[in-house]
Structure formats: structure tokens, C-alpha cells
Amino acid sequence: MADAKTQIDEIVKSQDVVLFMKGTKSMPQCGFSSKVAGVLNYMGVEFADVNVLADDGIRQGIKEYSDWPTIPQLYVKGEFVGGCDIITEMTLSGELDTMLEQKGVGFDKDAAEKIREANA
């Protein structure tokens, strides 16, 4: 598992925003992954996607790396942010906007506001 952990660490530290997910951002293969990728895509966040279904070592390794049992998992500037429920809550509360701004990650503020309006 050390190789997977090293690989995960390199991915997380080399990309500003990374989503470990089932499937890809253009073809998610689970509802939770689809929801998080959809939010990021809609908000115009540039992010790397890692399909955990393509590599069982990564699939198991990411759970140990973050000490988080579920996928998807979002990382911003090397920091674990959370899974689907946490990202959804952060999006609706505006917390995700604040975190992205603080970390210097570009996104469409109007799109973020539209998500909140649609869920109000």
C-alpha cells in the first residue's frame, strides 16, 4: 500500500484541486461522485479527477490516506475537504466559496450563487 500512498500524496500535492471519484468528471459512475463533479464543473473550478475504479490500490489507499471511508473525496491545495455531504453543505452555506477564495482557486461566483438560489 506504500506505493499507492506515495502516488496519492504526489497527486494531492501536485494539483490545486483533486477529486478522487468513481468514474471521471465527464463520465461519473456513481451519484455522489456525479454530484460533487457537477458542482465543481458548474462553478467552473479547474480540477483533476482520479478514477478510483481504475486502480484498486488507489481506491483503498485514498480511504487510508484521508482516514475517510467513502468516495468521492475532494482535496484543495493539498488539504482534504470532505466527501459529497460536506461539499454539498459547504456549497449551500457559501463556505466552499470562502475556502476557494482563501486558497486562491478560481471559480464562478455567479454560478455558486445560482446553486444556492436553486436550493433555497
Domain that holds residue 45: 2-118
pLDDT recorded at residue 113: 96
Whether the predicted pLDDT of 101 surpasses 80:
yes
Number of domains in the chain: 1
Q: Dump strand ranges (E) for the chain.
A: 17-21, 48-51, 73-76, 79-82
CB 50 within 8 A of CB 23: no
d(CA 97, CA 104): 10
Give the residue from 94, 70, 93 showing the smallest Cα distance to 82: 70
> What CATH number has the domain bearing residue 95?
3.40.30.10
- Model pLDDT, residue 120: 85
The reply, when asked if residue 84 is annotated as ligand binding, is: no
The predicted model gives 29-43 an average pLDDT of 97
pLDDT for res 2: 63
| pLDDT at res. 22 | 98
Is 0.75 surpassed by the pTM of this model? yes
% of the chain residues with pLDDT over 70: 98
pLDDT of 14 strictly over 90: yes
Q: Is the pLDDT of residue 1 over 70?
A: no
Q: 3-state DSSP call for residue 50?
A: strand
